[in-house]
Amino acid sequence: MKVEKFNDPLARRSHQLHFETLRLDTPFQPRLAELSQTNDWYSWAGYKAPHSLYDEELEYFAIRSTAAVFDISPMTKYRIAGSDAEAFLNRLMIRDVRKLGVGRVHYTAWCDDHGHVLDDGTLFHLGPSEYRLCCQERHLPWLLDSADGFSVEIREETTDIAGLALQGPTSYAVLRNAGFAGVEQLKPFQIAHFPLQGGTVTISRTGFTGDLGYELFVPRALALDLWDRLFTAGAAHGIRAIGYSALNRARIEAGFIVANADFITSETALRGNRLRTPDEIGLEWMVDMEKPNFNGRHAIQIARTKGKLRHVLVGLEIEGNVPPELSLVYHRKKKEAGIVTAAIWSPLAKRNIAIASLERPYGSRISDDLWVEIYALRELQYQKMMKRAKIVPRPFIALPRRTATPPALF
């Protein structure tokens, strides 16, 4: 057998067998590795990402009490540009892209032809005829196929662009101390560009925590410069790096959903009854039926008018203090009604809260006498508990500082 030697690391990687291939490093991995005390990593879209770095609870309280930094570089990112960029995106998205002004961001979703959600994400309008689409799953073949007939250029820039989420009450103070003058003028879902080491950092007032917060995007080569600048400026403001476990707690409190956790995307679903329309995962408010035709419009309209909506996503408050994640929901303790997709004991709300997918009519016409089946491990023995649940609005918490403009320094 001939053995080939490669001095170039990229060449070596391309010739590795799939089970020998290591998870990729994000541009911020050197800093994360230095801070990691738990060595608790997971794979996010092929990248090495931290579940936690030192202590999950303390990381959560960094979000709610000071400033927390989370590496969002593995998030899939597409640059979509060209004279038909707006028309192309408006054909795909369930929201009206024509209403998204330059320098603005909106949360959106897109469907297949049957009205089932392919994914959700954020759409950044960076400049005239230029957008960035950020999402959980990879969709490049689908985007390219959908672009037939449009004058548009689509390029994945996941590896080229590094991203950080800076979230928490002192996040604005950190940015001000870092020298990003004018960032206080950013309103929620607004974008601005700032100089950084001869390049540019794009800052948006967005996030996944329901708190005051920002997301920062830079070319890969400037990633560590950005990190060091933030942590130097934030030393007096309690800045801490965090992992996904802490972020997940905050997003549940905020009532936000995660693809392939709270709903299964249509490209990854193996069973037909796992598919969901926007109305079945709480995104009905996004669907703009007044705009020109878009993917799935006809199917969504039929589902609405002919009563074909089979599921509903709800917020639950459950008695007790044991989070019922992935527990079954019952009506009158007998009839299975759905499943809890995410749950925590909320330190901020002081409640046991959950997001659940229910089968209609539960959660719509029938909303009383709901119970959750919980198996709690008590000294090597599981104890079955039936706890009463009631449907409550999302978000579970609402923090005025999230939208205050200009934000306070705290």
Half-sphere exposure of 403 (CA within 13 A, CB side): 3
Q: What is the pLDDT of residues 298-350, one digit of tens each?
A: 999 999 999 899 999 999 999 999 999 999 999 999 999 999 999 999 999 99
Q: How many whole angstroms from its chain centre is CA 255?
A: 11
CA–CA separation, 361 and 273 (whole Å): 16
Instruction: Please report the sign of the dihedral spanned by the C-alpha atoms of residue 93, residue 96, residue 100, residue 104.
Output: negative
Encode 147-165: b = buried (16+ Cβ within 10 Å), e = exposed: beebebebebebeebbbbb
Contact 388, 318 (CB under 8 A): yes
Pick from 213, 209, 188: nearest CA to 258 = 209
- As annotated, the binding site for substrate includes 215
Stretch 388-410: mean pLDDT: 96
pLDDT tens, residue by residue, 147-180 = 999 999 999 999 999 999 999 999 999 999 999 9
d(CA 171, CA 230): 10
Q: Specify burial of residue 67 (Cβ count, 10 A radius: 0-12, 13-18, 19+).
A: buried
**What is the end-to-end Cα distance of the chain in Å, rounded?**
65
Spatial distance between the Cα atoms of 396 and 378, rounded to a whole number of angstroms: 28
Q: Going from the N-terminus, what domains does the chain have, and what CATH number goes with each? A: 26-75+160-253 (3.30.1360.120), 76-156 (3.30.70.1400), 272-392 (2.40.30.160)
Residue tagged 């037939």 (tokens): 148
The encoded tokens of residue 276 equal 């969901």
Determine the pLDDT at residue 320. 95
Local structure of 250: helix, strand or coil: helix
For tokens 């074909």, what's the residue?
308
Indicate the pLDDT class of residue 14, thresholds 50, 70 and 90: very low
Residue 193 has pLDDT above 70, yes or no: yes
DSSP 281: G
Beta carbons of 373 and 343 less than 8 angstroms apart: no
Tens digit of each residue's pLDDT (9 = 90 or more) over 198-252: 999 999 999 999 999 999 999 999 999 999 999 999 999 999 999 999 999 999 9
Calculate mean pLDDT across residues 9-16.
Answer: 46
pLDDT at 1: 34
**Strand 382-392 to 311-318 pairing:** antiparallel
Hunting for tokens 């060091």 — which residue is that?
Answer: 228
